[in-house]
Amino acid sequence: MSVHERLEEIVRAVLGDPSVRLDDATRAVDLPGWDSLAVINTMFAVENEFGVEFPGDEFARLETIGDLKASIAAKSTG
């Protein structure tokens, strides 16, 4: 399963919406039901799924799914 597919599954689970579709330009404001709790739950799920950590408010500063994927890739290799 690709990073993108794994992220899509995480967001679907957090939002309780199996119809969520993401692309690299998707922003949090594009997702119905996205709120501060969704940010926290998604961050913890991403950290757990990919074995990475987002210190401070780094996760909240990521603007798009593409940014998140790039951050995961950088953290996974560095």
Mean pLDDT throughout 61-66?
A: 95
pTM of structure: 0.91
Alpha-carbon Rg for the chain, nearest whole angstrom, is 11
Measured between alpha carbons, how far apart are the two ends of the chain, in Å? 21
User: Position 41: which residue type?
Assistant: N
The pLDDT value given to residue 39? 92
**Which residue range(s) make up the domain with 40?**
3-77
pLDDT tens figures, 5-48: 999 999 999 999 999 999 999 999 999 999 999 999 999 999 99
Structural domain total, the chain: 1
Q: Supply the CATH number for residue 60's domain.
A: 1.10.1200.10
